[in-house]
Structure 1
Amino acid sequence: MYKFIVKHIVTIASIFPVALLFIPLPELALNIAYILLWGLCMFLMAIVRSSNEKLLPLPRMILFLSLAILGIEISYTRIILTYEMHIRMNPETCFKFMYIINIIVAVTLLGLSYHFVIKRGTKAAEVTARFALDTMNQRLFDIDNKLNTGEITEEEAEQQKEKVRQDIDFFCNLDGSSRFLAGNMKALIFIYVLSIVGGCLYGVLKNAYSIQDALNIVSLPALLSTICGSMCITILASCVSYSLMNAKESQ
């Protein structure tokens, strides 16, 4: 049962964001889920930094957590669009142009996270995966030469070849996880824009708010959701970077 779950964890996790489209969760449950996800991301980061060896399940863990983040973001967007959030600013008491500050902070955070995750993390993972693929034949050829000269036995040669194959699979899967994080980051940007525009339109058309009041109401929960999502994705991207550095040092 455990092996089945580990093997199909990504498939199981992919059902999560789809289910949240049809199963609305209360805001308190989503806040708790955000805290748990952040804790899991930090725990994974601590494991990666303290480990001197490659964590083979790491790509699957990253995909699982990324899908969980995406699912919670979708569910939180539903709350924002329907004005069911408890964390909001009162248009009558807050600074009238507070929404401008919230939007600027969110755009800055998304821009920095996008640059770090996509421009840095994805490129590093892609280069490492290509390098591993390019050197695979040479590494296998060196193992065969050692076997022919009698430096190693057939059993040792098979073990070393298996290690080379594991390295290739690990780096390719890590490259795929990094690309998925980049796509998740783009989805986070789209969700933020949708929350602001859709929430503003809902407030104006349904509740007869002014555009300024509607923006003041939805900008704060959208900012908090963006902070939580981008923080978790950036931590996972850091896990990829640290894992790549550890793998290069061990080779």
Structure 2
Amino acid sequence: MSGRPRRAPKRSKKYDDEVDDFSDEGSDVPLSDSDSEDRKPRKKAVAARGKKSLDSFTTDEGWSFEPPSIFYKEYGDAQPSDKIAAFDLDGTLVNTKSGATFAKDDLDWKWYNKSAPEKIQAYADEGYKIVVFTNQGTIKSAVKGKAAEKILSRIDSIMEELGVPVQVFACTMDDHYRKPERGMWDFFVSRFNGGVAPDHSKSFFVGDAAGRTADFADTDKGFADNVGIGFRTPEDEFGVPE
């Protein structure tokens, strides 16, 4: 993708392969949650024996955590709708302002291009519900740790500037909620759309992991395929990145 940092080679959607992560200490982190896991098929997460399970909680900033691996938050008054305009985050709505592969801090972001926030506003005006589904595997099980705090603060910064009613769902571990699996979508539909069933023919998902030659993965396309909604790349939706 022109102007984008170089990413790891394409992998099958069966792998742990999305990189919506950034460094906990201000330096770059590997292109996936674990270098050793990149070449292994994804396995269903199983709670380790003897380990205390995570509990639900809500942060002072309004983020809620649902075990085992989902943070979620609503900005504004996002009304139920059968039309869902869903988006990935990094590489789709925003890129790093620094030009680094991974964000350095919560302010290291810029819009994909000036069209991105304008088009999202237009979809909201047309009655679409705006939803963001993002893998944030750097957090893992440390849901009250420093990396979690930085990542959630960065998302807050982005969504507050967007200024459109939106719901965000972030998966922190390699389990059935992580894209390309459809778990985050099912979680959203079952609890956060007011009982309204999305019309799959009117809904779509935009993401940069499309399985193209230069892409690092096909995670986003796999997610849309598993849900059964249309898929678009950021270039399709917004044009050339700035």
TM-score range, shorter chain: under 0.3
* TM-score (norm: length of structure 2): 0.28
Which entry has the higher C-alpha Rg, 1 or 2?
Answer: 1
* TM-score (norm: length of structure 1): 0.27
Structure with the largest fraction of helix:
1
Structure with the largest fraction of strand:
2
Bigger relative contact order (CA 8 A; separation at least 6): 1
